[in-house]
Structure formats: C-alpha cells, structure tokens
Amino acid sequence: DPGSSGIKPYLAGAATSFVCLLVFSWPSIRRLSLANPMRVLGRDLADKSKGFVADYSIGLLSLTLLIFFYSQNWQLVLSLVLGLVIVAILGVIISLAFLTSSRVLGMRAGSVWRLAFAGLKRRGLANGLQVVVFAVAIMMLLVLLGIRTSLLNQWEAQLPAETPNHFILNIGPSDVEKLEAFLKSASISEPPMFPIIRGRIISINNEALPSKDPDGAGRRQREANFTWSEALPESNKILSGSWWSDNENKPVVSIEEDYARRMGLSVGDVLGLQIGDYPLEAVVASIREVDWQSFRPNFFMIFPKKTLSDFSSTFMTSFYLSQDQKPVLNQLVRQFPTITVIEMDVVLEQIREIIDEVSAIIELVLVLVIAAGSLVLISGVQASLDSRMTESAVLRVMGARKKLILGGLLIEFSTLGLFAGVLACFGAEASIYIVLTWILDAPYAPIPWVWLVGISGAMLLIGTIGVLSSRKVVLSSPLLILRE
C-alpha cells in the first residue's frame, strides 16, 4: 500500500486547471473588455487578429511551464513544445492558404468538390484553428502510443534468445560448487559466478573525497559492489587501457565508463579504497563500456582475483530458465534455503502492467481532450449554422439535391480531418524522434501505423461530427429559411 498521496495532487490539479482556464480564455476576455458597445450593436467588430500573437504566446509559455512543473526535464519539455509549435505553425499556414487561395471558386451547384472547398475558403481562419485544436490533441495521443510501443518493441528486439531471466543472490562460498552442480544436473547452462564485496572509494590520487555531496552529482565517497574476474565479462568492452593478464599481481581495477565520468577518473589514477576496516590502493587499468540491458551481472568496479581473494564475499549469478523448467525453482530453493532468487520475467511483466495502467490513464485524459476538441468543432458549426442554412436554401431553390449538399459537407469536414491527421502525424513523429534520440538515447524508426491511425481516425472523427452537427442544414425547409 503506497499510502495516502496527501493534498498536493489536488492542489496541483486545481492550479493547473486555473492556469489553463485563465490563459486560454484571456484572449476572449481581453477582446470583450476592449469592445465598443456601438460597434457591437452595429455588427462592426474590430479586427480580432490584433494581439493574436501575444495572447497565444502567453498560453504557450504557460503550457511550457506546466509541462516542466510535472516533468522536471527541459529536454522533454522542449521536444513536446517543439512538436506543438510545428503543428500550430503548419495549421496557421493551411488556414492562410484557405483564405488566400485563388483557385478555390465560390459555390456552384453541380460540383460537390467545388461546394466543399468553397465552404472551406469562406471559413478559412476558423477551420484552420479547428485543425490546430484536433491536430494537437491527436498528436499527443499518438506520441504516447508511439513512444510506448516503440520502446517496448525495441527493448524486446534487443534481447537475444535465452537472455538470462533469473538472478540468484546471497550464494555462500561453500554453496558455489554445489549450486553449479545442481544447475548442471537440471540441464541449465553453467553460468559464471561473480563474488560481491562491499567497498568504497575514499581518495583519488591521494586527495581525500568528502563523505557527502549536497548536490549529489560531484565526487564523493561512494559505496559500490566490488567483484573480481580473470576474464573480461560478457557484454563488457574495453574503451581505454587494457585488461590484465592471468598472473597479474599488482592491485589494479577496471572502471565502468559512466561511473568513471561521474568520479572524474581516467587510466592511471590511483584510488584509495576501503573494504570494511581494511585500506587498499589500486591503479585504474582500464575503462569499460557495459551493456546494462544484457540482464547479466554487471559491476562498476572489477579487480583481479589476487587483489580481492582474501576478502569474504557472497556470490551471484544469472541464468535463463524456460517456462517448462520453472518447477526447478522449487527444488532449488528447498536445497539452498539461504539464497535469494529473483524472477526477472515476473518483474518485467509487472512493470509492463504498470506501464499499461499508467498509459491507459493518460490515454483517457487525451481522449477527453479530443472530446473537448469535438465540442469546439460542434460550437464552431453551430456558430456558422445560420450562414450554412442560408447557403443551403439558395442552392436547393436553384435545384441542388440534398445528396449534393451532404456530400459537400462530408468532403469539407473530412478534408479538415485529413489536414488535422497529417499535421498530428508530422508533429508526433517529430516529438517521438526527439524523445527517443535526445532523451532516451534510443534508436528511432518511423512508425507506419501512426500515419494510418492518425489520418484515418481524424477524417472519420471530424467528418462524422461535422456532418451530424450540421445535418439541420438539409432538414429545414428552404422557403422557411429564406422567409426568415
């Protein structure tokens, strides 16, 4: 039971809602406060484009700060905001193209395509904003699904067959040979045994290290698991220096590259170590690259056997066990009651379930965002319903059929969905690329299903909502509309 989360999440949620409501309603509030009553009554409204950039820049800045507040990662913030900006800029360009296109002619009965594009032209700016709203919402959903799917697929693809999925810890020295014999009798490939000895670095080149570091990132005394090995472990690669020979008598050590970078170590440095109450000096012989995803025992510091053989230690190992061999674990634990067995396949399955549950919650939030975008579309259609009904009445009086008008509406809204889907996919691919390569240091590959789902889903969603919300256009009598 993780316990109560306290009041902080509720306060954070309330503050987030207030900030979003304030900054995104501010443009309308500002225009309302500046409106001239006489011009409003005369339907001679001021240009709404004045202050547009400043108003929405405030919204973008607030959104950026909110994302950073929750993530505490500027790289992640910049990747998402960059995707949003790309989508917004392309959406504005499309809306301007609708407004300034000279190829799109006015309404003409008899051509469903001309009718649809004429409607897009007349409401170009509003259509462009709706494209941006849907594109952003769909983009965020695609980014979540794409990153989750890409990471899981890449991670699973990187794991070779029979990757170790079980770890055994706390193996006593007297049990090593017995355990090796047991694993061999169970037809399990004999894994290497690694001793574990707790120690710490207390000085570098005779310069004492502080026991504490307020920032947590500087050089200080750090406890670590030491081990010894005569051969370079699998999934390790020497980057600088060299591995020792079998008859190495000098106290030397091989350091993992990230640990060496964090501690400011290089080949030739002299480390002052402490194992229990016993001091020890060792020279850095090599810097290693370690594949931490290999699911094998890996260590920051490895020594020759002669350097650490006199210190007491426990051992650990890892091995692969298929589902058919699982019953062996019961016998293993009974025969060696002091060892600790970690089933990594069970742990990974639990992690996958947690990721799926968290992703489902986020997906629900994004679905609600898309639903909110649908309400924006419906309100936009309702705002233009009078002009649409007048246009429809004129066309029907001139002989246009309901099918022609409905077809024009379907093409008009499906085209909006097409542009929103394309923009969302571009933004999603850009965001996924930045997150994978800049933040997670993972390889990037295009995700074809993002384009299929994003574009087809946007066309279906916006086309359906648009036609249903404007069906009154063809259901009302043309004569009654024109009389009004």
CA distance 274 to 170: 22
User: Any idea which residue has 């993972």 for tokens?
Assistant: 442
Quote the pLDDT of residue 213.
59
271, β-bridge pairs: 204, 282
Tokens of 319: 């091995």
Q: Which string of b and e fits 419-436 if b means at least 16 CB within 10 Å? A: bbbbbbbbbbbbbbbbbb
The highest-confidence range among 22-26, 280-284, 409-413, by mean pLDDT, is 280-284
- The residues, ordered by sequence, that sit 6+ positions from 425 with a Cβ below 8 Å of its Cβ are 139, 142, 450, 451, 454, 455
C-alpha 273 chain-centroid distance: 40
8 Å CB contact between 195 and 228:
yes
Please report, for residues 13, 61, 375, 413, the alpha-carbon distance to residue 378 in angstroms, rounded to integers and kept in the order given.
Answer: 27, 28, 5, 11
Given CA atoms 347, 351, 357, 358 in this order, what sign does their dihedral have? positive
Quote the pLDDT of residue 161.
67
The highest-confidence range among 53-57, 361-365, 401-405, 452-456, by mean pLDDT, is 452-456
User: Any idea which residue has 């406060």 for tokens?
Assistant: 33
- The residues, ordered by sequence, that sit 6+ positions from 173 with a Cβ below 8 Å of its Cβ are 312, 313, 314, 315
Residue 109 has pLDDT above 50, yes or no: no
Mean pLDDT of 182-202: 88
Residues comprising the chain, all counted: 484
The string of pLDDT tens digits covering residues 213-233 is: 555 555 667 788 999 998 898
Q: Pairing relation of β-strands 194-204 and 314-319? A: antiparallel
8 Å CB contact between 249 and 305:
no
Residue 348 has pLDDT above 50, yes or no: yes
Mean pLDDT of 335-345: 89
CA distance 153 to 137: 24
Which phi and psi (to 5°) does residue 73 adopt? -140, 105
The highest-confidence range among 186-195, 209-218, 268-277, 340-349, by mean pLDDT, is 268-277
CA count, 13 A, side-chain hemisphere, 373 = 25
196, β-bridge pairs: 314
pLDDT category at 335 given cuts 50, 70, 90 is very high
pLDDT category at 484 given cuts 50, 70, 90 is low
The full set of domain ranges for the chain reads: 73-159+353-483, 190-319
